[in-house]
């Protein structure tokens, strides 16, 4: 039995949970997320707790048991608190700014890199070297932050590039110092 999957999920008072035709909906007054529940896993609401159970011990059902529970828990956390990722830009002359719904990065290329921001994400630049990505969907927040980091990942010799806040970059010795 999945240790994660058998834990119940508490539903806060401000969250409305609905299960209809294999579609799980979690909503508050302003936000709403949906998840399709696959076959082999059942979701039940009992005494203001969500229970995820699997139908049998097939490999797919065992794999989905804990995954569906965590996805539903992340939906509840997303509509109540939200998710946030912070990125830092390291390098002389590297900077970022927002132009409307477009994130513009100047990171040493011959041209500025522009990234469109979807409507369900909130991206801000509190300073020229910081990017903050916020939203209710954990997967979309993480994917957008990873795509921004992928433009110029931190390089191991000088440490320049785009990195997550608090990420440590292990620096290598240069060719001259390696001997």
Judge if 87 and 159 occupy the same domain. Answer: yes
Boundary residue ending a domain (80, 112, 142) = 80
Statement: residue 7 has pLDDT above 70: yes
Boundary residue ending a domain (80, 100, 119) = 80
Decide if 73 is inside a domain.
yes
Q: Which residues have CB under 8 Å from 150's CB, separation 6+?
A: none
Token pair recorded at residue 131: 């990017």
Decide if 179 is inside a domain.
no
- For the chain, how many residues are written? 179
Query: Could you report the per-residue pLDDT of 28-79, keeping only the tens digit for each?
Result: 998 999 999 998 899 999 999 999 999 888 898 888 999 999 999 999 999 9
pLDDT of residue 176: 77
Judge if 106 and 74 occupy the same domain. Answer: no
Identify the CA nearest to 138 among candidates 33, 53, 3, 6.
Answer: 33
Decide if 92 is inside a domain.
yes
**How many structural domains compose the chain?**
2
Q: What is the CATH number of the domain that holds 143?
A: 3.90.930.12
Query: Could you report the per-residue pLDDT of 97-143, keeping only the tens digit for each?
Result: 999 999 999 999 999 999 999 999 999 999 999 999 999 999 999 99
Judge if 160 and 91 occupy the same domain. Answer: yes
- Give the separation between CA 105 and CA 23, rounded to whole angstroms: 39
Boundary residue ending a domain (80, 97, 117) = 80
Residues of the domain holding 33: 9-80
Decide if 126 is inside a domain.
yes
Judge if 35 and 94 occupy the same domain. Answer: no
Judge if 100 and 43 occupy the same domain. Answer: no
Identify the CA nearest to 137 among candidates 86, 80, 78, 81.
Answer: 78
């Amino acid at each position: 039995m999945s240790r994660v999957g058998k834990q119940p999920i508490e539903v806060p008072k401000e969250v409305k949970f609905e299960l209809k035709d294999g579609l799980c909906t979690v909503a508050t007054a302003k936000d709403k997320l949906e998840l399709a529940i696959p076959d082999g896993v059942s979701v039940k609401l009992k005494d203001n707790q969500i229970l995820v159970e699997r139908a049998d011990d097939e490999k797919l059902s065992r794999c989905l048991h804990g995954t569906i529970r965590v996805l539903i828990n992340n939906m509840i956390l997303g509509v109540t608190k939200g998710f946030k990722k912070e990125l830092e830009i390291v390098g002389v002359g590297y900077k970022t700014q927002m132009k409307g719904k477009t994130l513009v990065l100047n990171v040493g290329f011959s041209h500025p890199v522009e990234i469109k921001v979807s409507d369900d994400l909130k991206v801000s630049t509190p300073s020229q070297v910081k990017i903050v990505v916020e939203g209710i969907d954990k997967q979309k927040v993480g994917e957008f932050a990873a795509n921004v980091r992928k433009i110029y990942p931190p390089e191991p010799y000088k440490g320049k590039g785009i990195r997550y806040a608090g990420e440590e970059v292990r620096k290598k010795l240069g060719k001259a110092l390696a001997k």
